[in-house]
Structure 1
């Protein structure tokens, strides 16, 4: 612990149609969030929240998580370069080509947990910040530094108790974690910061929010409020089902079932789907904001 020091690293980025996207470098899962959107950018999906949209993003999530769960952790121990993966157009094409447009791929994999708060800010000079804070479940590690009152987080619990391999516990090693506040710079001059709490659901909710706004033209608030889905873990419970809020059109749910997704309905506006938020700075100087009705967050100006 005495040898630890904070580092400043450039964000990961990937270019998609009309925008450059940014996210956090390892040991976060930021590369997975970017991979989902880069893969989906290569798929055809004409209608927001239709079968092709949801199925495409769920299958892109599986492709991204396969890479994440095999390779992403402390960058000092990684054997692949996350930015190089995002720069490899042929590799991204191959991930997209591996997706069956009509059938779900198997997904028996347990997931990562998390508990998080996202916040964003844009100032009068156009500086935009996307930020996530977390101590990893209530009261973190339960240890309080007596002089500062800081509660230690317990992200070390995500280590694998294995002798070697991905995210194995080792002295001096940083644990993989799920925190990945997102940003985007559009070709038309808009700047967007967005994110959510939700551990395993963070990349999935980011993908839903961003594609609704950027690809399908929903307003920012519509994109946040619209029903969501979650592949994998809920709070404290390993799961591999595709959970969905019960506000989707019946024909979309029927199509997902026919494609082989293991579906699990959830109540409308459930906190299980995360607490998202977003800000967009327009070239005119207008700042557009959206907060999640699933949470007690808000958009404020001062």
Structure 2
């Protein structure tokens, strides 16, 4: 059984070891958890470019030591030229995933860093921006080794990605993915980060960096304008919450799919006799996920297009109604809609004072749109691909609107005072992975390391008849597989164990009695947990 690292006062967890080292350095320099997270976000944006970057989006949960929870939405809206008419006239039946037409929403992550640092300052944070971005600048300027995940990771429409102007020069070696350990330098990105450290993060939108980004986006034919960048600001929003038996779990409201994660946990708790690693408990989680995704796809969209208050689905009565529809004796058919892809990073931090952060940052699909902006070295995301070109859809493309978002960092506060920061990457699979690791820790009594390392399942978009295929890792318990098969699940056993296909998850918990922090990150990633 793996041992969970325990730290005396503070810890961080990240999917790349260099990002974790950055967070530890900032904590040791007297920084708080928010400052550590901004520094980690900058470093991981440089060294894990297939998963995230400063040309992407982010979502934050921040819990103050006294209990107040802040939710920050740093997702970008569609550009002012991004209309259904424009894409229909260009011959599209659906939004493209690669190339300039896929670079259609503003990148919000850097604005989110700025908003988080405003909160940090109000809580006593004092570290200068050049220190926070220092590691990221150094790695971009001097080089970093390509990670195992980046070499291995397979993504949709990879051939189209390679054809995007500028992508091959930035990321390929002799026409192929760079092998693990290849030293990569990104001097233009280093220059951009240095400018932000000097001029401030708003420069990304309203300064010299923003000007160069806008010019490059215009040159390649993106529907994002200079005015779109200038007008953008990350927002403080009200977090969603679900009350469970011994804890309250928090997540982000729409356009995030955080509602789905909370629905799964809320439904499963209302089903009796589901403790331990049993086929019945996993069946309940799977069936709750099906119901949660069905509701999510009807409800979650840009906040201006919502027909219902998302919190209304998390009341005890609403959750009991949904849970009662779960058949505990047979798997329900589940014709999945177009899946939400997503290649993302999640990171967590908790400091000595108990300030806790759960943060997620992404370029959506691996390498986003593939558009490398030459003046700044910024790789632009393709989050707008999640919009619909159906004018009747609640998730329809409209200038200034945000699409349904897969990103959903989570946090739980237990009645005994423990604070848990947790999350995972994986698009459609994020709520599935979050519900598995949380229930293993909170309900099955596993330690953090066991909960994160244990084999996972995922509902795949590939259908077998009218049933979704349930993919399971190769080291999944054969007894559980047989039990789930008897309940009607169409199971596909994967060849690999600890594969990135099954997410990069992490968990940190602060104990109130002794102030210690337990922290783990996924063996499926290139990272880990470090602390003080």
TM-score range relative to shorter protein: over 0.9
Match of 1:294 in 2: 524
1:156-195 alignment, distance < 5 Å: 156-195=384-423
Report if aligned partners of 1:44, 1:52 keep a CA contact under 8 Å in 2. Answer: no
Q: Aligned residues, how many?
A: 297
Match of 2:444 in 1: 216
Match of 1:109 in 2: 336
Match of 1:77 in 2: 305
Structure 1 residue 255 displacement after superposition? 1.8
Report if aligned partners of 1:12, 1:25 keep a CA contact under 8 Å in 2. Answer: yes
Structure 1 residue 145 displacement after superposition? 5.2
Structure 1 residue 262 displacement after superposition? 1.3
Match of 1:137 among 346, 365, 369: 365
Structure 1 residue 6 displacement after superposition? 2.0
Match of 1:34 in 2: 262
Report if aligned partners of 1:140, 1:152 keep a CA contact under 8 Å in 2. Answer: yes
Match of 1:246 among 470, 474, 494: 474
| Greater relative contact order (Cα < 8 A, sep 6+) | 2
Q: Distance in 1 between matches of 2:472 and 2:325?
A: 24
Q: Which structure has the larger Rg over C-alpha atoms?
A: 2
Between 1:150-159 and 1:195-204, the stretch displaced more is: 150-159
Q: Does 1:269 align with 2:498?
A: yes
Report if aligned partners of 1:112, 1:233 keep a CA contact under 8 Å in 2. Answer: no
Structure 1 residue 167 displacement after superposition? 1.1
Match of 2:323 in 1: 96
Match of 1:280 in 2: 509
SS of the aligned residue for 1:8 comes to strand
Between 1:248-257 and 1:97-106, the stretch displaced more is: 248-257
Structure 1 residue 171 displacement after superposition? 2.2
Q: Does 1:150 align with 2:363?
A: no
Match of 1:53 among 272, 275, 281: 281
Structure 1 residue 146 displacement after superposition? 5.8
Q: Deviations over 1:12-49 (max 9, x none)?
A: 11100100100011101000000000001111244422
1:196-235 alignment, distance < 5 Å: 196-233=424-461
Report if aligned partners of 1:113, 1:233 keep a CA contact under 8 Å in 2. Answer: no
Report if aligned partners of 2:346, 2:360 keep a CA contact under 8 Å in 1. Answer: yes
Q: Distance in 2 between matches of 1:242 and 1:17?
A: 28
Structure 1 residue 175 displacement after superposition? 0.7
Q: Distance in 2 between matches of 1:134 and 1:66?
A: 24
Structure 1 residue 250 displacement after superposition? 2.2
Q: Distance in 2 between matches of 1:42 and 1:149?
A: 49
SS of the aligned residue for 1:14 comes to strand
Report if aligned partners of 1:36, 1:57 keep a CA contact under 8 Å in 2. Answer: yes
Q: Deviations over 1:55-76 (max 9, x none)?
A: 0000010111111011101011
Q: Distance in 2 between matches of 1:280 and 1:148?
A: 38
Structure 1 residue 123 displacement after superposition? 0.9
Match of 2:86 in 1: none
SS of the aligned residue for 2:506 comes to strand
Q: Distance in 1 between matches of 2:299 and 2:275?
A: 33
Report if aligned partners of 2:329, 2:487 keep a CA contact under 8 Å in 1. Answer: yes
Q: Distance in 2 between matches of 1:57 and 1:83?
A: 21
Q: Distance in 2 between matches of 1:269 and 1:256?
A: 21
SS of the aligned residue for 2:524 comes to coil
Report if aligned partners of 1:220, 1:278 keep a CA contact under 8 Å in 2. Answer: yes
Q: Distance in 1 between matches of 2:234 and 2:275?
A: 44
Q: Which has the higher helix share?
A: 2
Change (3 A) 1:265 1:45: farther
Structure 1 residue 117 displacement after superposition? 0.5
- Calculate the TM-score normalised by the size of structure 1: 0.94
- Calculate the TM-score normalised by the size of structure 2: 0.54
C-alpha RMSD of matched pairs (Å): 1.7
Match of 2:105 in 1: none
Q: Distance in 2 between matches of 1:127 and 1:148?
A: 34
Change (3 A) 1:99 1:160: same
SS of the aligned residue for 1:156 comes to helix
Q: Distance in 2 between matches of 1:287 and 1:17?
A: 23
Structure 2 stretches lacking a partner, 5+ long: 1-78, 80-227
